[in-house]
Amino acid sequence: MANETKEENHSITQAVSQRYAKAVTNGEQLCCPTGYNYEDLGQFVPEPVLKVSYGCGTPVGLSTVQPGEVVLDVGSGGGIDCFEASRKVGPHGRVIGIDMTDEMLALARTHAPTVAGNLGYSGPNVEFRKGFADAMPVEDDEVDLIISNCVINLAPDKWKVFQEMFRVLRPGGRFTISDIVADQPIPNYLKYDKAKWGDCLSGALTIKDYWGGLRDAGFKGLHQVNSIPWRVIDGIQFLSVTLTGYKLASISTTPSSSFATLTGPFSQVVDELGTTFTRGNPQQIDERTVALLALAPYHERFIIAEQPVALGVHDPRMLAVFPEEATCIWEGQFAVLTGPFLEVCDDDHHTYQCGEPAEICSKTNKVLQTTFYQPYFSIINRSRESMDSEPVICGPSTGCC
């Protein structure tokens, strides 16, 4: 059985590689929504590279790059994201691109000296290596940032890819990747359609499985940066998402002298270490939790102090968003919690599990679209036609609230 799986994976990898190799010469536009600023990139990136730029982010993760860092691009293709990373890290930084397609590697390597010259560097600070996402030719703890642009969904063994990402990142490092995910599991008739693999469809994981695989590999602070509806096929919603996660520098469970108080907007949350926090109630945390709550997706939602800080109902630091007092309508909307929390509760008795679509009414949708809630959710609409639902009063009998 293991040999059969290995052969199937190899067959899929070959089919994808051959399709991308052909795209170098025929100019086929492959799979994913993009929005590169070609006018800006064209100032230093040659035209042949711009013509074979595929992905679902623009370019992902590079807004956080610091000069001198080491950046790894998984599935570097013609090199467009690597060349933008080269500009960001400066002449003293390094960029590594890995790709499995010889034609793409040849294109990127050919134009690397030109890019370096256009940037005013004495030589290229980008190296392109042949390799696979599930067996990266990169040393342990070598890079500060991993980027990847609509590539991981093309890998048959994504769990191995996530493990490789964790291995090559330095403690304290992070990734920002764009990819295609689905709101429900992909059926076998799509999984075994090799053409659909190249379209970024057959290999798509659900949000729950994608986030779960990254957490199983060791990443924390997983959160959505952006989410865009892409396609609907046979009732399956495909989304283009950009997400970030971190490799914690500290894994110590030693008790600390710090206390954490959840400010909201959630009434209760469960973090990625399994700790439950209730809004306004301080609790002592260990060193690992201190490191976790210092990450970008957490720190705005907590007060960390050396003394316990309790928040009363009228404390201006308390955040709560209540639904309007009105009837609601079922419009086909579903909310998907996209992290960083494993579970959250709102002020209208709803509980959301990370990655699991939950049907919501119009009132709840308005709450989740507010400034405080919106960064934590993707909203999808599963209705296939315009809805003409009767207004209902929220209550247990209506399945709402």
Question: What strands, in cross-sheet order, belong to the sheet with 358-359?
Answer: 358-359, 333-337, 377-381
Q: How far is CA 270 from the centre of its chain?
A: 20
How would residue 26 be classed by pLDDT, with cut points 50, 70 and 90?
Answer: very low
* Residue 392 in this model has a pLDDT that exceeds 90: no
Q: Among 224-238, 259-273, 281-295, which is the least confidently predicted range?
A: 224-238
pLDDT top residue among 230 and 401: 230
pLDDT score, position 196 = 64
pLDDT, residue 160, reads 97
Q: Which residues contact 300 (CB under 8 A, 6 or more apart)?
A: none
Is the per-residue pLDDT at 59 higher than 90? Answer: no
Please give the structure tokens belonging to residue 148: 């990847």
Cα–Cα distance between 154 and 199 in angstroms, integer?
9
Q: Which residues contact 146 (CB under 8 A, 6 or more apart)?
A: 61, 71, 72, 73, 74, 165, 168, 169, 173, 174, 175, 176, 177
- What pLDDT sits at residue 375? 94
pLDDT in tens, 266-277: 999 999 999 999
% pLDDT > 70, the chain: 83
Using DSSP bridges, classify how beta strands 70-74 and 143-149 pair: parallel, antiparallel or unpaired. parallel
Q: Is the preceding omega at residue 316 within 30 degrees of 0, hence cis? A: no
Please state, in angstroms and rounded to a whole number, the distance separating the CA atoms of residues 287 and 257: 9
Mean per-residue pLDDT of the chain: 87
Structure-block tokens of residue 273: 């270490």
Q: Confidence class of residue 128 from pLDDT cuts 50, 70 and 90?
A: very high
Segment 260-284 shows an average pLDDT of 98
Structural tokens at position 338: 């996209």
Asked if CATH classification 3.40.5.100 holds for the domain at 255-305, the reply, yes or no, is yes
Return contacts of 308-311, CB within 8 angstroms, 24+ apart. 308/259, 308/261, 308/282, 308/283, 308/284, 309/259, 309/261, 309/282, 310/261, 310/280, 310/281, 310/282, 311/261, 311/263, 311/279, 311/280
Place of tokens 């929390």: 341
pLDDT at 220 over 80: yes
Please state which CATH number belongs to domain 2-246. Answer: 3.40.50.150
Q: What is the mean pLDDT of residues 91-116?
A: 96
Residue 61's pLDDT is 73
Q: What's the pLDDT at 64? A: 87
**Residue 237, C-beta contacts closer than 8 angstroms, at least 6 positions apart:** 182, 183, 184, 229, 380, 382
62 pLDDT higher than 90: no
pLDDT band with cut points at 50, 70 and 90 for residue 39: confident
Q: Average pLDDT for residues 349-371, to the nearest whole number?
A: 95
Domain boundaries, the chain: 2-246, 255-305, 333-398
In this predicted structure, what is the pLDDT of residue 23? 47
Token digits of residue 321? 């968003």
CA distance readout (Å), 6 to 12, 195, 197, 227, 397: 10, 19, 16, 32, 50
Cβ atoms of 119 and 87 within 8 Å: the answer is yes
Residue 41: predicted pLDDT? 86
pLDDT in the model for residue 19: 47
Angle at 101 between CA 100 and CA 105, to 5 degrees: 100
For residue 4, name the pLDDT band (cuts at 50, 70, 90). Answer: very low
Element (H, E) at 226: strand 220-233
Residue 42: pLDDT band with limits 50, 70, 90 = confident
- Cβ atoms 108, 128 nearer than 8 A: yes
- Beta strands, E only, 29-158: 70-74, 94-99, 126-130, 143-149
Is a pLDDT exceeding 60 seen at residue 222?
yes
155 vs 60: which has the higher pLDDT: 155
Range with lowest mean pLDDT among 95-109, 142-156, 159-173, 375-389: 375-389
Encode pLDDT of 299-338 as tens digits. Answer: 999 999 999 999 999 999 999 999 988 888 999 999 999 9
Residue 232, pLDDT above cutoff 70: yes
pLDDT at 20: 47
Q: Report CA torsion sign: 266, 269, 272, 275.
A: positive
For 276-301, letters b (16+ CB in 10 Å) and e give ebebbebeebbbbbbbbbebebbeeb
Joined tokens for residue 137: 């030719």
The share of the chain scoring above pLDDT 90, in percent, equals 66
Helix (H, G, I), strand (E, B) or coil at 26: helix
Q: How many CB atoms lie within 10 A of CB 83?
A: 30
pLDDT of residue 118: 96
Rounded CA separation 212/218 (Å): 10
Q: How confident is residue 31, by pLDDT bands cut at 50, 70 and 90?
A: low
Residue 238 exposure: Cα atoms within 13 Å on the Cβ side: 22
Q: Do the beta carbons of residue 360 and residue 382 sit within 8 Å?
A: no
pLDDT of residue 197: 58
Say if residue 138's pLDDT is above 50: yes
Point out which residues pair with 352 in neighbouring strands.
344
Q: Determine the pLDDT at residue 108.
A: 96
Q: Does the pLDDT of residue 371 top 60, yes or no? A: yes
